[in-house]
Amino acid sequence: MYNLLKGKKGIIFGALDENSIAWKIAERAHEEGATFVLTNAPVALRMGAINKLAEKTGSEIIPADATSVEDLENLVTKSMEILGGKLDFVLHSIGMSVNVRKGNHYTAQNYNFTHKGWDISAVSFHKVMSVLYHKDAMNEWGSIVALTYMAAQRVFPDYNDMADNKAYLESIARSFGYFFGTEKKVRVNTISQSPTPTTAGSGVKGFDGFFNYAEKMSPLGNATALECADYTISLFSDLTKKVTLQNLFHDGGFSNMGISQAIMENFSKK
């Protein structure tokens, strides 16, 4: 390991179980010398898996529903107390669509569910940054990252209302990133990750189909959760200080492909 995050402090949202992208990021951040607080929604913490991660990484866990500003204020204040100062990095790795969970078609959403999913998956990023900003909780040259998916730009019908939530999330990164950059020298980016077999990912209808399709379409194949963790570490490190307001594709090249030989073979006349 490279000590890329030596002495850096942070908060990591969204580690649910060993498959979670946030779980891998926490493990890698620990290996690179960071100290951090782990957080998740109280209901997710009741599953208990996160205790193992906390033990392994020497971290404390603070429950917070990312849609509750009150919870977030408590989280940020306590994290600074525990870690002994301001923060250098924050990971937002949160997503949930109630319409997807309930199997509602994109064209026939329950708008209460739409609103809830939007609040959890997109507006929570604004709330997290607003609390960090007003508490002046970030060190200069700190880094804030949220995870997103390419359905924000292109049509993936089964991704449902999460596509709209991701477009909103990416816009928040740019808009808030402007203020965080000019006033606090903090960078804000989103990483657009390949389909990854996690609880949230596999919950999307037809996940296997677009996982395999993306694998065959991408020159480098799908990026794994561990590879996403490596990339995220680079964005938390001092090696990427002037990267901000970006949506960064971490997808083995998928986003710039039109057609690949492997996909063609399925459609060519023999």
Ligand X SMILES: NC(=O)c1ccc[n+]([C@@H]2O[C@H](COP(=O)([O-])OP(=O)(O)OC[C@H]3O[C@@H](n4cnc5c(N)ncnc54)[C@H](O)[C@@H]3O)[C@@H](O)[C@H]2O)c1
Residue closer to ligand X (CB basis): 73 or 139: 73
Contacting residue, 62, 76, 83, 94, with ligand X by CB under 6 A: 94
Does residue 196 belong to the site contacting ligand X (CB under 6 A)?
yes
Does residue 41 belong to the site contacting ligand X (CB under 6 A)?
yes
Please state, in angstroms and as integers, the Cα–Cα distance from residue 102 to each residue in 94, 114, 160, 179, following that order. 18, 11, 12, 37
Does residue 163 belong to the site contacting ligand X (CB under 6 A)?
no
- Number of Cβ atoms within 10 Å of the Cβ of 250: 18
Does residue 195 belong to the site contacting ligand X (CB under 6 A)?
yes
Q: How far is the CB of 50 from ligand X (least distance, A)?
A: 8
Question: What contacts 40, CB < 8 A, 6 or more positions away?
Answer: 13, 14, 15, 16, 50, 61, 63, 64
Does residue 65 belong to the site contacting ligand X (CB under 6 A)?
yes
Does residue 201 belong to the site contacting ligand X (CB under 6 A)?
yes
Contacting residue, 11, 147, 214, 217, with ligand X by CB under 6 A: 147
Does residue 98 belong to the site contacting ligand X (CB under 6 A)?
no
Count residues near ligand X (CB under 6 A).
27
In this structure, what are the phi and psi dihedrals at residue 2, rounded to the nearest 5 degrees?
A: -115, 5
Q: How far is the CB of 16 from ligand X (least distance, A)?
A: 3
Strands 60-61 and 9-13: unpaired
Question: What contacts 261, CB < 8 A, 6 or more positions away?
Answer: none
Does residue 173 belong to the site contacting ligand X (CB under 6 A)?
no
Does residue 75 belong to the site contacting ligand X (CB under 6 A)?
no
Which strands sit side by side in the sheet containing 87-92, from one edge to the other? 60-61, 35-39, 9-13, 87-92, 138-148, 187-193, 247-250
Return the H-helix or E-strand segment holding 43: helix 42-45
Which residue has the CB atom at the shortest distance from ligand X?
Answer: 201
Does residue 160 belong to the site contacting ligand X (CB under 6 A)?
no
Contacting residue, 5, 35, 40, 109, with ligand X by CB under 6 A: 40
Contacting residue, 26, 29, 87, 120, with ligand X by CB under 6 A: 120
Q: State the DSSP code for 158.
A: G
Name the maximum alpha-carbon separation found in the chain: 66
Please state, in angstroms and as integers, the Cα–Cα distance from residue 71 to each residue in 2, 116, 131, following that order. 34, 17, 10
Contacting residue, 4, 5, 11, 21, with ligand X by CB under 6 A: 21
Q: Closest Cα to residue 159, out of 112, 227, 214?
A: 214
Does residue 227 belong to the site contacting ligand X (CB under 6 A)?
no
Q: Enumerate binding residues for ligand X (CB under 6 A).
A: 13-14, 16, 20-22, 40-41, 44, 65-67, 93-96, 120, 147-149, 193, 195-196, 198-201
